[in-house]
Structure 1
Amino acid sequence: MTTADSRPGGPRSPEQRKREALARLARDNDVWAATADATGEPCLVPLAFWWDGEAVWLSTRDTNPTGRNLCASGRVRLSFGHTRDVVLVHGTARMLTREELPAGVGDAFAAKDGWDPREDHPSYVFFRVAPQVLQAWGTVVEMAGRTLMRDGEWLV
């Protein structure tokens, strides 16, 4: 991927940003997941993920702060990439146990990451994160028009 700083001609079009955001979701291995507890105490952790074309799948223990926060509020912000080429997703998460996983999800998650939470500690669960807002930008010149999805619907 290129960033706005390294490409002549100014900011990327919304269509190009969408293509590149979807490519990042398909190929990156890890994401920063931000949650908060009921008192507002933030928690930020890197997690492995799998993108199924509609939702981001995460796995973590339901006993750690991130798992507890996701179970309690269902709210999460995910940050893919780096500060000069970021995809930011505001989403709603739904917890699923190993037994509740739709067919193929666990295998696809394990194949992408090389780690299978289903074979790890029993406290590992999965979270399906449905994007509600998706933003993508490189630098300040791309701040305008960075929102590519709102209310779960693509704008481009």
Structure 2
Amino acid sequence: MTNTRTTRDPGQRKKDVLVRLTDEVDIWVSSAAGDGTPYLVPLAFYWDGADIWLCTRLTNPTGRNLSTGGRTRLALGDTRDVVLLDGEVTSLAVADVPTEAIEGFAAKCGWDPRGSGPAYVWFRVRPTAVEAWHEEPELVGRHLMRDGVWVV
């Protein structure tokens, strides 16, 4: 397939990533068990401008992995419109989550986990690296954040 998209400069890619973080409801979440078994699931998320907020049961593999692993890779898009985010994960009880994050999550996702029982745990993902590209012509300049700092 031929790429018919205009190649974006890194500044435009960052703008596009920020729009997607604000507008999209689900994000792919990768994690790994202690024995290395990989897991990849879509979860609803909320972006507060600095952190990505996730909520899932601590009893499922992703919840267990996020709570013990300390890191994750998140993804938006398809194979021709990629956003990859690496981040540091902090597990939080609902009492420790800022009200603004919970209410933002509920408004965006249409679900308030506070009503789903104590099995649900919140995860704050602080991005440390962000890459974005449309196919091969945009591979150069795809790194938009490194070591937690936007480079564009």
TM band (smaller chain): over 0.9
Aligned match of 2:59: 63
CA distance in 2, matches of 1:73, 1:121: 24
Aligned match of 1:7: 5
Match of 1:23 among 15, 19, 23: 19
- The offset of 1:121, in angstroms, is 2.8
The total of aligned residue pairs comes to 151
- The offset of 1:102, in angstroms, is 1.2
Aligned match of 1:53: 49
Match of 2:99 among 86, 96, 103: 103
3-state DSSP class of the match of 2:8? Answer: coil
- The offset of 1:86, in angstroms, is 1.3
Q: Which one-letter code corresponds to 2:139 in the other structure?
A: M
Aligned match of 2:114: 118
3-state DSSP class of the match of 1:16? Answer: helix
3-state DSSP class of the match of 2:127? Answer: strand
- The offset of 1:58, in angstroms, is 0.4
CA distance in 2, matches of 1:140, 1:40: 30
Normalising by the residue count of structure 2, what TM-score does the alignment of the two structures yield?
Answer: 0.96
Normalising by the residue count of structure 1, what TM-score does the alignment of the two structures yield?
Answer: 0.93
Runs of 4+ more than 4 Å apart: none
CA distance in 1, matches of 2:81, 2:117: 34
- Listed as ranges, the gaps of 5+ residues in structure 2 are none
Q: CA offsets per residue over residues 64-110 of structure 1, 9 Å max, x none?
A: 11111011111100001111111100001101111111122111110
Match of 2:140 among 138, 144, 153: 144
Determine what percentage of the aligned residue pairs are the same residue: 51
Q: CA offsets per residue over residues 127-149 of structure 1, 9 Å max, x none?
A: 00000000000101111111100
